[in-house]
Copies of this chain bind each other. A is one copy, B any other.
Amino acid sequence: MTDPFVVVGGDAAGLSAASKCRREHPDREVIVFERGRWVSYAHCGLPYYVKGEVDDLLSLTTLSPEEVDDRGIDLRREYEVTAVDTARRTVTVEGPDGVVEQSYGDLLLATGARAVAPVDGVDLEGAFTLHHMDSAAALRAFLSEPGTVDPATVGDDYTDESAVRPYAERAPPETAAIVGGGYVGVETAEALAAWDLEVHLFQRGDALLPPFGEAVSEVVADELRERGVHLHLGCEVKALDGDGTDRLSAIRHTDGETTAEAAVVGVGVRPNAELATEAGVETGANGAVAVDEYGRTSAPDVYAAGDCAVAEHVVTGRRTWVPLGLTANRAGRAVGATVAGDPTPTGGVAGTAVVKAFDQECGRTGILDHDRAREAGFDPVSETVTAGSRSGYYPGNADTTVTLCADRDTGRLLGGSVVGTDRAAVRIDTVATALTGGLTVDELERTDLAYAPPFSPVWDPVLVAAKVVSGSVA
C-alpha cells in the first residue's frame, strides 16, 4: 500500500487535484488539509457578493465539504500544515487535536496567495483586503442597514462570525476608499458605487489596470468618472487613519487627506511559498514555487500548483507567476492526473484576464508591455484601433478598442487587449487562442472569424487591428 496523496490547501488547485486523482485512481488515499473553514470558493466572485448582485455567499463555493467527502477525499478543515520534511516524506499538521505527522507518497502544495497591504492602518475596523470570504461577508454587512445581516447565519457556519459581528450593527459608511487601481480596485469600485456611497479610488501610478495597457486604462478611467467614482491617479496612500481610535476615519495620501469610513486595499498578492522554502524547495519568479511542466518541484514527489506556483508563459517560454483561477484549476487537475499515473502537462499561461468595469468589458492576454517584450528578445510594435462590435446599421453596435502587440521582425503576435461595452471581453479569447497557435499577425488577419450583423461587422475589431499591425511589421 502506497502512502497517501497529500494536498495542502482546499481551494481551486488543491481540490481539482484531489478530485481528479480519486476519479482516475479510486483506490488511492487522498487527504486534503485546509487551514480555514471555507473550501473551493471563488475569489473572483467576491466583488459581486459585495455589490449585492450575488445574494448568497455560499453560492460562491463550487463544492461543499460534503460533496468533497462524496468524492472519497479525506478533507480536514482547520488543519494547518506547518512543515514539510522532504527527506522523511512527511508533513507536520496542527489541527484541533494537536500536532501530528502525516506521511505522503505524493505531496501537492496548493497554498495559494495572500493579499499584501503595505500600508499602515490596515488593521483598523473598516479596512478590508477582500481576498477572503470572511472579509467579503464583513464588508457586505458593513454596507447593509444595521440589523439586516445576522453574523451567525451569513455563509452558514463557514464564516468567522467574529469578523462580521463588528459591522452588523453599525450604520453603513457614507464614504469609502479603494487603495489600488488593479482589477480588485476596479471591480470594488463598481461594487461600492452600487451602495450609493461617495467612492474614492487611489492609484499610485497614472494608469488604472496597468497590465491591460494604456488604451484600456483610459476607457476605464472615463467610465469610473462617469459613474461618479472619484479617481485619484498618481496619488500614493501613506496610511489609513483612525484618528486615535480603532476605527478608520480617513485616508492620508500624497495630496492630503480624504474622509473614509470604509476602505478596501487591493494593491497586489504574494505567493504563499513559505512552507516550500522552509522545506528547501526551490522558488522562482516572484518567489513562487518553481515547477516544471508537470508541476513537479525540486523535491521528489512534491508538486505545486495554483497561486503559489509558477507556470510557463506561452509567448516567452519562461517561467512566470500569474495567479489566476483557470490556471489554478487546470494545473491542479493535471497534477491529480499525473499523480494517478497519467502524466499530464499543467499547460502554459498567457496572462489572459478579463475585468468588468461597470458597463465596460476589458480583456488582455500575452505581452503588451514593450519593456517586457524586449527583455524576452522581441522587437515590439503595437497598434490600437477602434471599430464597431456589430454592423454599423445594427442596433447595439458599440465602439470596441483593440490593441495588438507583435514582433517587428517575425510578425509574431505577442499580446493584445480589448475594451468595449458590447461583448468585448469574450473577444480576447480569439487573441489568446492565436497566441497558443503561435500565429503571426498576418495569419490572424486571414483567420476566418464570424460575421453576422447582430454579432460582428464584416471585419471583426480583432481583424481590423491585425490588419493595421500587419502594416507595421516586416
- List chain A positions with a Cβ less than 8 A from chain B: 12, 42, 44-45, 48, 53-54, 56, 59-60, 314, 324-327, 329-330, 345, 347-356, 361, 363, 365, 391-395, 423, 425-430, 432-439, 443-456, 458-460, 462-463
Q: Are B458 and A365 in contact (CB under 8 A)?
A: no
List the B residue with the shortest CB-CB distance to A445.
B347
Q: Are B393 and A44 in contact (CB under 8 A)?
A: no
Known: A42-B453, A59-B392, A426-B423. A330 touches B53 (CB 8 A): no
A330–B430 Cα gap in the complex (Å)? 18
Q: Are B327 and A45 in contact (CB under 8 A)?
A: no
Which residues on the B side are within 8 Å of A434 (C-beta)? Answer: 433, 436-437
Which residues on the B side are within 8 Å of A54 (C-beta)? Answer: 393-395
Enumerate 25 A-B pairs (CB-CB under 8 Å) in ascending A order. A42-B391, A45-B393, A48-B454, A53-B394, A53-B395, A54-B394, A325-B458, A326-B459, A327-B448, A330-B446, A350-B448, A353-B452, A356-B455, A361-B454, A425-B452, A425-B454, A425-B455, A426-B455, A427-B429, A433-B437, A433-B439, A436-B437, A436-B447, A437-B437, A437-B438
A42–B459 Cα gap in the complex (Å)? 13
Most B CB within 10 A of own CB, among A56, A428, A435, A458: A458
Rounded to whole Å, the gap between the CB of A56 and the closest CB of chain B is 7
Which residues on the B side are within 8 Å of A392 (C-beta)? Answer: 59
Partner of A439 from B354, B427, B437 at Cβ < 8 Å: B437
Most B CB within 10 A of own CB, among A59, A365, A426, A436: A426
Known: A392-B59, A437-B439. A450 touches B363 (CB 8 A): yes
Q: Are B329 and A458 in contact (CB under 8 A)?
A: yes
Q: Are A453 and B393 in contact (CB under 8 A)?
A: no
Q: Are A450 and B429 in contact (CB under 8 A)?
A: yes
A434–B48 Cα gap in the complex (Å)? 32
Q: Are A448 and B56 in contact (CB under 8 A)?
A: no
Q: Are B325 and A455 in contact (CB under 8 A)?
A: no
Rounded to whole Å, the gap between the CB of A33 and the closest CB of chain B is 23
Partner of A448 from B45, B365, B439 at Cβ < 8 Å: B365
Which residues on the B side are within 8 Å of A454 (C-beta)? Answer: 48, 356, 361, 425
The 10 closest A-B CB pairs, nearest first, are A437-B437, A347-B446, A59-B393, A350-B448, A433-B433, A354-B450, A425-B455, A354-B452, A436-B447, A352-B448
Which residues on the B side are within 8 Å of A351 (C-beta)? Answer: 448
A45–B327 Cα gap in the complex (Å)? 40
Q: Are B433 and A447 in contact (CB under 8 A)?
A: yes
Q: Are A349 and B425 in contact (CB under 8 A)?
A: no
Partner of A329 from B354, B444, B459 at Cβ < 8 Å: B459
Which residues on the B side are within 8 Å of A428 (C-beta)? Answer: 450
Q: Are A349 and B436 in contact (CB under 8 A)?
A: no
Q: Are A436 and B439 in contact (CB under 8 A)?
A: yes
A436–B453 Cα gap in the complex (Å)? 23
A439–B432 Cα gap in the complex (Å)? 13
Rounded to whole Å, the gap between the CB of A78 and the closest CB of chain B is 25
A230–B443 Cα gap in the complex (Å)? 44
Q: Are A325 and B425 in contact (CB under 8 A)?
A: no
Q: Are B448 and A349 in contact (CB under 8 A)?
A: yes
Partner of A436 from B355, B435, B448 at Cβ < 8 Å: B448
Partner of A450 from B353, B394, B439 at Cβ < 8 Å: B353
Q: Are A452 and B326 in contact (CB under 8 A)?
A: no
Known: A53-B394, A395-B53. A450 touches B432 (CB 8 A): yes
Which residues on the B side are within 8 Å of A449 (C-beta)? Answer: 326, 352, 429, 432-433
Which residues on the B side are within 8 Å of A456 (C-beta)? Answer: 354, 425-426
Q: Are B326 and A448 in contact (CB under 8 A)?
A: yes
A56–B391 Cα gap in the complex (Å)? 14
A365–B361 Cα gap in the complex (Å)? 25
Rounded to whole Å, the gap between the CB of A261 and the closest CB of chain B is 27
List the B residue with the shortest CB-CB distance to A438.
B437
Rounded to whole Å, the gap between the CB of A427 and the closest CB of chain B is 6
List the B residue with the shortest CB-CB distance to A187.
B452
Rounded to whole Å, the gap between the CB of A165 and the closest CB of chain B is 25
Rounded to whole Å, the gap between the CB of A389 and the closest CB of chain B is 9
